[in-house]
Amino acid sequence: MPCRALALVLTVLALPATAFAGPDRKPAGDRTKPTTPEALRVTGVTSTAVSLAWGPSTDNSGSFTYTVSESSGAARSVPQTQTAYTWTGLTPGRTYRFTVSAVDAAGNRSAPSNEVTATTPAVAPPATPANLRLVSAGVNTLTLAWDGVADATSYELHSPTAGTHRTTGTSLTVHWLFPDMAYTFTVRAFNASGTASPASEPLTARTLRDTTAPSVPVVSGGATSPSEILLTWSASSDNSNYVSYNVDVDGGPWVHMLPGDDTTMLVRNLRDGTSYDLSVRAYDNSGNF
């Protein structure tokens, strides 16, 4: 009896796994790849898109998706019911290579299709903006305008010393300029694909000379120690963007003062028991006090 029992156990263990599968149970693990999509072809090209089409794949599971791959490594998923795709967002004037493969729910991927190549056409640049002109000048601002370009979606106003500024309109005010200084500008137009026109003829414009002094600061303060007085004052206003301050002690500049845009100062190294006449003067970048 022991020998017969052992033989029975060995026989049962030797049976294949499929012997235990019921009539509705499938063998575990799908390892069959979908068939390779065939005849991948380019059906249309614009400056920013390529349209593709291919022959359908099949799979034993009946359910899969397509993966369209571009040579840079980007990939996009396409439903099983769709055998065409338009890849958008491309750059004009570049060559792209594509393949397509099928992937089932178990992750089995077909071999890639044939590779196709498409070159997006370059977009002609917009016309050069004309009639760049000065509209108005301030102490720290210049307002410029130019004639619009039909296919332009934005403009770029550039100055080597005033920087680059973008706008969707045909005029722009440049701020934070120095008084009585000349600036040279050009303008370029950009179309929807980001292609730029040549730069316009340059225009040189000068900001106005500043002859207006800042407003008088209102100062207050008091001793914080036998040798120190803390001053505070209200910020001065000015027609320019630049205001700094000097502190005078007994009618002369205080030797420890460093001009800046602070509105407080601790005056040190004073003699105890001594009265001092302290004042604050505001000045701008043009030297108006």
Per-residue pLDDT tens over the stretch 226-274: 999 999 998 888 887 788 888 888 887 765 555 556 888 888 889 999 9
CA 286 to CA 283: how far, in whole Å?
A: 8
Backbone angles phi, psi at 66, to 5 degrees: -105, 145
The pLDDT score that the predictor gives to residue 24 is: 41
Residue 99 pLDDT more than 90?
yes
Residue 15 pLDDT more than 70?
no
Contacts of 246 (CB under 8 A, 6+ apart): 253, 257, 259, 280, 281, 283, 289
pLDDT average, residue stretch 165-174: 97
Backbone angles phi, psi at 172, to 5 degrees: -160, 140
Give 27's pLDDT tier (boundaries 50, 70, 90): very low
CA 95 to CA 109: how far, in whole Å?
A: 26
Tokens of residue 203, six digits: 């225009």
* Burial class (CB within 10 angstroms; exposed 0-12, middle 13-18, buried 19+) of 288: middle
**Average predicted confidence (pLDDT) for the chain:** 86
The pLDDT score that the predictor gives to residue 186 is: 98
**Residue 13 contacts residue 50 (beta carbons within 8 Å):** no
Contacts of 258 (CB under 8 A, 6+ apart): none
Residue 7 pLDDT more than 50?
no
Cα angle, residue 91 at apex, residues 166 and 54 outer, rounded to 5°: 150
Contacts of 253 (CB under 8 A, 6+ apart): 246, 247
Identity (one letter) of the amino acid at 137? A
Nearest CA to 100 out of 50, 61, 62, 60 is that of 50
123-145 confidence digits (pLDDT tens): 889 999 999 999 999 999 999 99
Lowest mean pLDDT: which of 85-89, 123-127, 166-170? 123-127
Residue 105 pLDDT more than 70?
yes
For 99-161, what is the HEC assignment?
A: EEEEEECCCCECCCCCCEEEECCCCCCCCCCCCCEEEEECCCCEEEECCCCCCCCEEEEEECC
Q: Tell me which of 253 and 63 has the higher pLDDT.
A: 63
Backbone angles phi, psi at 10, to 5 degrees: -65, -35
End-to-end CA distance of the chain: 120
Tokens of residue 96, six digits: 């792209």
Residue 216 pLDDT more than 50?
yes
